[in-house]
Structure formats: C-alpha cells, structure tokens
Amino acid sequence: MPARRVFAWEPEEQWTSSEEREKKIEELSRELDESMDSNSGKGCLKAYLVKNEVWHIADIDYELRVDYRKYLKSTYSDSVVRSYLRGMDKAKLYAIRKHANTLKGKQEIAKNTDLIHELLFLPYHPNPAIAERYDCKVAIDKLVWDFRVNGSELCKRQLLEIIEDVVLRDIMLRECTMRLNGLKVVYQFCMQEHIEDLRYITQVQADKLEKYADTAYAKELAERELRECQKYLFCHAKNILWDSTVWYLERLHLEQYRVNPSNPVKKFSFMGIEKRENREILQEYMKYCLGVTHLAMSGIQAEFYRILAFVMWMEKETAMELKLASEIEIKKYFQIIELKEASYFNDIVIAIYQLYEYLQTKEIIDRIPFRYEYYLKKEIHCHNNRSVEMEIYERILRELKNFPEIPRLILLHSMLIGLRISEVCTLKGDAYSWQGRDAWIQVYQMKMRTYKRVPIPDVLYKIMKRYLEKYHIGSEDYVFQNKRGGAYQYGSFKWQMKELFNKRQDIFKGYDFKSHDFRHTIATLLYDDEVPLQSIRDYLGHDYEEMTQQYVDFMPKKISAANQEFFKKGENSLASGIKKCKRGK
C-alpha cells in the first residue's frame, strides 16, 4: 500500500510542478512583453532567467546582472552585449516603477532601512526617481555601493541619505557623477577608519582621508564631499546639533543686520580641537556669543579664531584642559605671540580673558587665572599713506571700459564716492535718488548698523539708472547679484580685480590693487579741498574723528607745512618772547 501511494503520488507532483513551471514562464513572458522591445534581447533574457529560475523581473539584482553580462560575452559582440544589458535594465526599471505605485512600494521608499545591509546598484534603487537618473552609460563601479561591509550602521545611513540627495538634485549628470566619485572615497575612508558618525569627525581623522584617494584630483573631490556631508547633516537635522564639529550658520537663521551678505561667515569649525571637554567649552561659549551678544558675525568670527588658536596650542603643548590652565601656561602663550602688532596682540588677550570670564560666570572655574591689564601693550597708531597716486587713479579710469561690467561699476562706486566694497555689493535697487538738483545714494553700513545718505556725481547716477533699467532690477533686489540672485560676493570682486590688474602690468606696472585705498584717496582729496574733518567723518561713516584722521593721508604733511609757515613769521617765533637782559636783572 505505501509503495503504491508513493508511486501514484510522485507522477502527480511532477505533473503539478511542470504545470506551475509553465505558468511561471508564461507570467515571466508577459512581464517581459510589457517592459521590453523585441530588439533589446527579450528572448535571450527570458532564456537566461528561466535557466536560473528567476520568475519575475522584479527579482533582477546587480549580481544577476553581472552574471548575465558574462553569459552574453561568451556568445555576442560588445555592442550586442551593451544593447541586451540596457534591455535588462529597462525591464528592471519597469518593475521598480510598477512597485513604487503600490502602498508597500511607497512605504519601502520612505524607509529604505534594508538598503544599508545590501549591495546597492543605483539604477536598481527602489525609488524610480533615483533609478532612472542613470542609464549605465557611465562606468558601472561608480554606481555600485557595497553596504554589506563591516562598519557603523549610523554612518552608512548618513551616507545613503546623502547619496540619494545628490542623485535627486537638479544638477548636470557630470556634476552628479563627480560628487558620487568623491563620496565613494569618503565611504571607503569611513568604513576603514571606523568612523561612527560623520557629524563628529575631528581634523586628525579627516587628515587620513588622503590615504584613500589615488590621485590629487580624487583627494580634492573627497575633501569637498566630506565638507558637503557635514553641511548636509547639520542643516537637515531635526534639531540643531550643537555638539557637531562644524556649524553651518545658514541653519541658524541669524538676524540680517548681523550678517554681511557680500562676505558672509559660513561656518565655525571645531575639528582642530581633539579633547571633547575643550571642544564643548568653546561650543558653549560660541552659543553664548551667537545667541546673547547680538554682535556682528564678522566680529564673532574674529574672536573665535583667536580663541581657537589658543585652545589648539594648549592641547599640543600642554595636553591640558582649558578649565585647568593656570597663568603660567597662559603667560607662555602670550610670550609666543609677543611679536604680533600691539592692537592684534591686545585683541587676543581680551578674547582669551572674555572666555575665562564666561567660564567663571557659568561656575566652571572659581576665578580667572590672569589679569588682562597686566599684559596689554600700548598702542601707537602709525599713519600709513594709502592714497592711490593720481597718475594711477586716472589710468584706472581710462581703462575701466575694458573691465567686465559688474566689477567695473563696483570699482567706479569706490573710486568716485569712497564706499566700502561690502557696501557697494549690498546696494538695493532703490538706493539711487534725485532730489532738487542733486543725485544721492543710500547705503547701509554694516559696522554702524545704520543707513547713510551721501551725494554722488550726476554721471554715476545716470550710469546706474540705465543699468537698473537694462536688467530690470527691482527696488528690493540687489543691484549687483551673484548667480543665485544674492549679493555679489566681495571675494569674487577682489579676485577678479587682482586678475585684471595682473594681466595689465604693462599699464599698471608695480601697482598693488587694494580696494580700500580709494576710501583713503577720497578722504584725502576732500580734506585737501578744505572740507572740515567732521564733515569727512560723517561722509565716510566713522564714529570718531581719530579714525578719519587715519584715512587722510596728507594730514601729517599738511600739519607740518602749516606749522612751518606759522613759525616763519617773526611774531610767532618761539624765541620772540625772549628778552635780552644782564645776568642777575
């Protein structure tokens, strides 16, 4: 009886299996008909999938693709192999799109939790927007990411999120590929160096990145992408990550009056501080500076760099925590920077003192370890003649027509009315006006946090009105714009001017362009025309006349000449009051 049952049952199972196999082949054929053209190797792919018992095109993965390529190369030419592989990729993309429209597919795209444990091939990514970005015409190795290697899951998840963001961005395919190349090196570096979290990388760790780049260009790409990773994670975090080793200030939404749009402070990097305790102290102090003091970002940045240099020196030379430093260590640091200019030296002393004053207020230390008054140097202001010689000044005016339009107009503002370049770069469309018989310009002064209104030459007014009409610049638009419509960058202007003057050394031989020199020139010309010093101060937007005196380059000579002229007269001679008389009378 059992023998008959077995005999009777086995053929039935074989028949059922054969029937199911035919149904699976029929279903596979239907899927291939829906997703592929007849001339893209449909029959060949069907035979291969049936042979390997892959019954749905959704089950195609990268490893199967690699094996299929070997299968094709043994029979067909390279051009046919490429064509048939594109057919396979097209079928897979069809399945991805179809699955993405289901509820389960949408949930998988939203979570993506399994991808950090798999071999990811970007054209087979479950998100069709990512999968269709590449058609595999680029080198395949650039599109394969092996997340199966041992490493931090958090770091893998961070990199996967960044990879997806890069591919989904509206950028040229070439730029996207360059970024992926850089990210490949970053990924290898993170896995090999056991980086747990990209947000907390220190400079010592980052310096090892170059080991994983085989060329200088690859190193440059990788370093840029590491910075982009840090920026993305800081700016896209749900809450501000104050313990990150780099802060990107665009995330903080600071008040506009604290930020110079033409030369913005973009980040604060704590990567150079290795000791976590020291890094946390400086981060807390910078939070205080950003959130409580309401200082301009340029001032906070300057103070940050002064303190950062001190902290890094402390770690390197003493291996001591900031809160444990005594006056002995601090005095030694002051001795090292002794040769710096008095005003700069004093700024460093005060910055370090203010840090320790903050630590005392927060009860992190009992008392400040030094008295800053003891170390301050006496500042002696030396007058430096910075006015542009009239011959050079006139030569520049003649050559302006050969300069690019925006740098030319920015420089013209500085030459004719002595504005700071940062002020010119942030002018708005409503800055120019005509009142009575005079043309005026309204300028926002970053340092003073106020507007000033000064007269301008008629010719400059007419030039700028024509420029505003030509480019349809609105009243609230920046007059001089960068590619994104923001304020023209001071750094871009400075670089362009250096390039232009260097190329024209036959005309400007030996001239070292410095945009601020034209403010000195305007101040000097005004003073030479008997304009009162107080009026020049108001025109330049200074708080104190002492500052204005530093801008009037002929003042020491003029005072000296006036003194000589005064004392040439007999009645003004210092000896005129001396009378001859006999001794004792």
Residue range 186-239, pLDDT digits in tens: 999 999 999 999 999 999 999 999 999 989 999 999 999 999 999 999 999 999
pLDDT classification of 569: cutoffs 50, 70, 90: low
Residues above pLDDT 90, as percent of the chain: 54
pLDDT classification of 116: cutoffs 50, 70, 90: confident
The pLDDT, as a whole number, for residue 386 is 80
Residue range 479-491, pLDDT digits in tens: 999 988 899 999 9
Residue range 26-54, pLDDT digits in tens: 999 999 999 988 788 889 999 999 999 99
Q: 102, 107, 134: which is closest to 121 by C-alpha?
A: 134
The pLDDT, as a whole number, for residue 10 is 44
The pLDDT, as a whole number, for residue 3 is 41
| pLDDT of 13 strictly over 60 | no
pLDDT classification of 301: cutoffs 50, 70, 90: very high
The pLDDT, as a whole number, for residue 137 is 57
Listed range (114-123, 245-254, 258-267, 549-558) with the worst mean pLDDT: 549-558
User: Could you tell me the domains of the chain?
Assistant: 246-374 (1.10.150), 390-566 (1.10.443.10)
The pLDDT, as a whole number, for residue 316 is 92
Mean pLDDT of 164-178: 89
Question: Phi first, then psi: what are they for 388, rounded to 5°?
Answer: -80, 130
Question: Phi first, then psi: what are they for 30, rounded to 5°?
Answer: -65, -45
Q: 257, 343, 248, 345: which is closest to 298 by C-alpha?
A: 257
- Comparing 84 with 567, the larger pLDDT belongs to 84
The pLDDT, as a whole number, for residue 8 is 41
Please tell me whether the overall predicted TM-score, pTM, comes out greater than 0.85 for this model.
Answer: no
Rounded Cα distance, 164 and 232, in Å: 12
The pLDDT, as a whole number, for residue 5 is 36
Question: Phi first, then psi: what are they for 214, rounded to 5°?
Answer: -85, -10
Question: Phi first, then psi: what are they for 313, rounded to 5°?
Answer: -65, -40
Question: Which one-letter amino acid corresponds to residue 321?
Answer: E
Residue range 129-151, pLDDT digits in tens: 898 887 655 667 778 999 999 99
The pLDDT, as a whole number, for residue 413 is 93
pLDDT classification of 12: cutoffs 50, 70, 90: very low
Mean pLDDT of the chain: 86
The pLDDT, as a whole number, for residue 570 is 61
Tokens matching residue 91 = 């079928």
Return all residues near 330 (Cβ < 8 A) that are at least 6 apart: 352, 369, 370
The pLDDT, as a whole number, for residue 201 is 95
Listed range (163-167, 426-430, 513-517) with the worst mean pLDDT: 513-517
Listed range (33-47, 90-104, 376-390) with the worst mean pLDDT: 376-390
| pLDDT of 6 strictly over 60 | no
The pLDDT, as a whole number, for residue 565 is 63
The pLDDT, as a whole number, for residue 1 is 39
Residue recorded with tokens 């409503």: 430
Count of CB atoms situated within 10 Å of the CB of 508? 17
| pLDDT of 281 strictly over 90 | yes
Rounded Cα distance, 452 and 437, in Å: 19
Mean pLDDT of 89-94: 92
